Amino acid sequence: MEHTLDELTQAKRQIDSTLHKLREAIATLESKENPKRYQSQLTLAKRRVAAFELANSLIEREIKELSV
């Protein structure tokens, strides 16, 4: 499936925004008095960060290929 440079750029922007929010949520949960209580939320957020970072790198690769 082919995507335009505009579509890829917008998707990357949205992923970057979501990553920022997830990282803030992780920091907040880890700073709580009893972070073990939030272990499942932390695990989920960290897995989402990893997945979005992967998606971001793939989008960046596609953007570079379109820019050549």
pLDDT at 1 over 90: no
Residues 59/16, Cβ–Cβ less than 8 Å: no
Residues 63/12, Cβ–Cβ less than 8 Å: yes
* Amino acid 32: pLDDT: 96
Residues 27/60, Cβ–Cβ less than 8 Å: no
Q: Residue 24: give the domain boundaries.
A: 5-67
Output 1 or 60, whichever has higher pLDDT.
60
Structural domains of the chain, count: 1
Distance CA 28, CA 42 (A): 10
The pLDDT tens digits for 4-63 are 999 999 999 999 999 999 999 999 999 999 999 999 999 999 999 999 999 999 999 999
